[in-house]
Chains A and B, each alone.
Chain A
């Protein structure tokens, strides 16, 4: 009898202990709930955003009925390309970081790490103008459509415009006009189809459109989660859009009028260093530190090709198309230039440079040549056509 009593006592004790333990447990849980209240909204929003992104990818994948290179099997393969250096422009004391062609197809503006900006007539290799910026690392430069001015900027967080005068003795620096102001380095700049507006991208994660005369910001573009490294204007006459790429691995297409991001693509695995439109304006290519170049089509709303090889492990710093869009030139951080057949996805040529990373690569406005970094490489007119067996 006493044993049973003692047992019942012990059971009751255990029960009370358990229930009190439960109570403590419940109280602790409640406390945790209260504590996690503020981050709940963020977490739910994040989950919602992720779910939508997955859904978007599914929608995009639905219309993927064939690969580009499969459709391209019916066209002839390209033979090996031979390219030759036609001009070498020497004069920068340090790494050339950026360059841009003038619409006259022969002049070039280039900027370097030591702060120099030089305008050349690449055809004669003469230096026509030179100016030293007050900052080093001039990472962006652009030629105005009229050919009468250049814009540049970099670590100074600004974009400045220099009108070019015919008088060689005139001091360019005196006429400098500060146009854009960012809160971090200027990574790229580009005139719209007018001397009066400049589009800029910056390490502060934004792009902006500026009125050159007044320095007023006409539109800003927010949406990148990290530094924006590059941009390119759509080639159409009615074009009001541009594409940008950033350290958040995203490429975004923007409406210049409203400032809205119209389309975005997030398939790269590292920083996007360069974006260029396909000549028709329906697609664009991107080059990234993940050692690949990719082609995105705006009508299909997805990535449609990847250009990569197992042996290419260094990042792409710069890309550009030949005039027909059949070739994609990629400058890489391993001092090479790989030339890709855009449609078939194969590499058709490789150029070895020995001095430095290829920083900017640009095809001239009429497609007769392309130029890169310190060396100017113009293409030779010979190539062999190999027919498949």
Chain B
């Protein structure tokens, strides 16, 4: 539901968070709620065969909780959000490398805050090598390397061939430390460590949530806070990738900038504003008026080309004849006539009939001027001046004295906006005067009433007179012949007649 608009936040006191951190915080808020003792997801230890599975909850537990607590009506949406949270590593399936959420009895576990993405992890390949190596040392079925992990290990062995002894030593040391831990604790920690690597070295084909948008990462706030090593290794690789240049996030404003801000605010204070009720009515009536032209609500005539594979509606739009629906639009506002090339043409014709076409021609010429390359501007300005405004101009237009004086000044140093004041004056004139007469004119009304054009056919066209003759001849035939063939002919003839 739409909420009432909030006040502007001061950029001074509040700690500015980078866009990524904003999302992490939101997910972490949800996790905190999920872990709440009273209202969160029930976490339990499950007995399985000879062992216990500690600290788990099921996929359906998660989905149910989300639907109840996060105002989510649709199960699909809950699964989607849950999968995203899993993909970021906030909770994970205990027996799968692929981080998704399934609504069934699959067991999930929460990730330890140490490994949360908000800690700005960017683990190096040396750490990954230590981890994979360590896994091969531990003789547990559940710690066996998956195919893609074995491949990665082989690759890393080749890449770090010279360092491998060092990496092996680290892995051994880590494995020793792990062995000393309590069995249950180990199970949990091992799974959390694996989930961490599933985020930072995902299964091939899975979404990599650690990919950053270059526009955001190039403004990284605190690059020194990036954690690069999980196992305490030093690396001689450069500490920052090319995208992480240390640039200040939001510069402190200078005195001049503050003066500009103050001036801007003061100007804004004097602005004339409309009441919300009026604005709302205007937005509503616009949407209503254009609903019949919106292909998302009304199928275009004859069809939506993307659905029917038929480009007729585009061809109709491009041709010179305007259909009734298109003509109707011109009456909505002056801008609609001016936007449509056929509308402009018709309006020009009408003005010519009133001997005031120079207004529109001037307006069009100035629009054209603004579209030209800057090099051509001075010449064009002169030409327009000569044609429309100079004393004795062939297509003299009537502008108020103020605009005329300003324009006279402007053309001494001709720029694209030399005729701005005159153009605005003429536009207002056409809008308030000629336009309303155009809409009420018989020419426009005729276009509006025009029946839909008959589609050009391969059938030969008959004139009404020739049809009457044929009818007479057939009637004569009918009197004298009761032939079936003749009857068929007559039937065909009648259908022809009704179609024209």
Contact = CB atoms under 8 A, between A and B. Distances in A.
Given A270-B17, A352-B80, A345 B279 contact: no
Contacts of A333: 23
Nearest to A194: B371
A326 B291 contact: yes
B90 to A, nearest CB: 12
A306 B6 CA distance: 9
B215 to A, nearest CB: 7
Interface in B1-30: 1-12, 17, 19, 22-23, 26-27, 30
B273 interface: yes
A304 interface: yes
A218 B373 CA distance: 11
B242 to A, nearest CB: 10
Contacts of B141: none
5 contacts: A59-B273, A237-B335, A270-B19, A302-B5, A306-B5
User: 9 closest A-B pairs (Cβ-Cβ)?
Assistant: A345-B2, A194-B371, A289-B19, A324-B294, A213-B373, A324-B290, A52-B265, A71-B280, A378-B306
B299 A381 contact: yes
Nearest to B295: A368
A225 interface: yes
Nearest to A380: B307
Interface stretch (B253-261, B452-460, B474-482): B253-261
Contacts of B250: 225-226, 247-248
Contact of B370 (A194, A226, A323): A194
Interface string A309-337: 11101110000001111110000011110
A22 interface: no
A36 interface: no
Contacts of A53: 8, 10, 265
Interface stretch (B35-43, B70-78, B231-239): B70-78
B345 interface: no
Given A283-B283, A366-B295, A238 B427 contact: yes
B288 interface: yes
Contacts of A236: 335
B266 A315 contact: no
Given A57-B7, A378-B307, 10 more contacts: A41-B255, A52-B266, A65-B277, A71-B281, A106-B305, A196-B373, A229-B215, A297-B283, A326-B287, A381-B307
Contacts of A227: 215, 219
Contact of A46 (B12, B30, B305, B416): B12
B375 interface: yes
A49 B258 contact: yes
Contacts, number: 310
Contact of B372 (A71, A196, A218, A289): A196
Interface string A243-274: 00001110000000100010110110111000
A35 interface: no
Interface string A43-77: 00110111011011101100111111101100100
Nearest to B249: A226
B214 A155 contact: yes
Nearest to A329: B296
Contacts of B283: 68, 278, 280, 282-283, 297, 325, 342-343
A381 B262 CA distance: 51
A216 interface: yes
B47 interface: no
Nearest to A203: B215
B71 A311 contact: yes
B261 A49 contact: yes
Interface of B: 1-12, 17, 19, 22-23, 26-27, 30, 66, 70-72, 74, 76-78, 80-81, 84, 207, 213-216, 218-219, 249-251, 253, 255, 257-262, 264-266, 268-269, 271, 273-284, 286-291, 293-297, 299-300, 304-307, 311, 314, 317, 335, 338-339, 367, 370-375, 416-417, 420, 424, 427
Category for how many chain A residues contact B: 35 or more
Interface of A: 41-42, 45-46, 48-50, 52-53, 55-57, 59-60, 63-69, 71-72, 75, 81, 86-87, 104-106, 123, 137, 139, 155, 185, 187, 192-197, 203, 211-214, 216, 218, 223, 225-227, 229, 236-238, 247-249, 257, 261, 263-264, 266-267, 269-271, 278-280, 282-283, 289-291, 294, 297, 299-311, 313-315, 322-327, 333-336, 342-346, 350, 352, 355-357, 366-369, 378-381
B26 A212 contact: no
Contacts of B271: 263, 301
A324 B305 contact: no
A155 B10 CA distance: 31
A50 B374 CA distance: 41
Nearest to A283: B283
Nearest to A48: B262
Contacts of A223: 260, 264
Contacts of B66: 311
B373 A306 contact: no
Given A71-B284, A299-B273, A313-B23, A225 B253 contact: yes
A49 B293 CA distance: 45
B219 A289 contact: no
B276 A214 contact: no
Contacts of B273: 59-60, 63, 299-302
A212 B373 contact: yes
Nearest to B261: A49
Contacts of B22: 269-270, 289-290, 315
A344 B70 CA distance: 21
A334 B269 contact: no
Contacts of A306: 2-3, 5-6
B328 to A, nearest CB: 15
Contact of A367 (B72, B249, B278, B296): B296
Contact of A86 (B27, B274, B307, B373): B307
B212 to A, nearest CB: 11
Contacts of A229: 215
Nearest to B275: A63
A261 B267 CA distance: 10
B5 A309 contact: no
A39 to B, nearest CB: 11
A294 B8 CA distance: 13
A368 B305 contact: yes
Given A304-B276, A381-B307, A313 B27 contact: yes
Contact of A249 (B11, B299, B420): B11
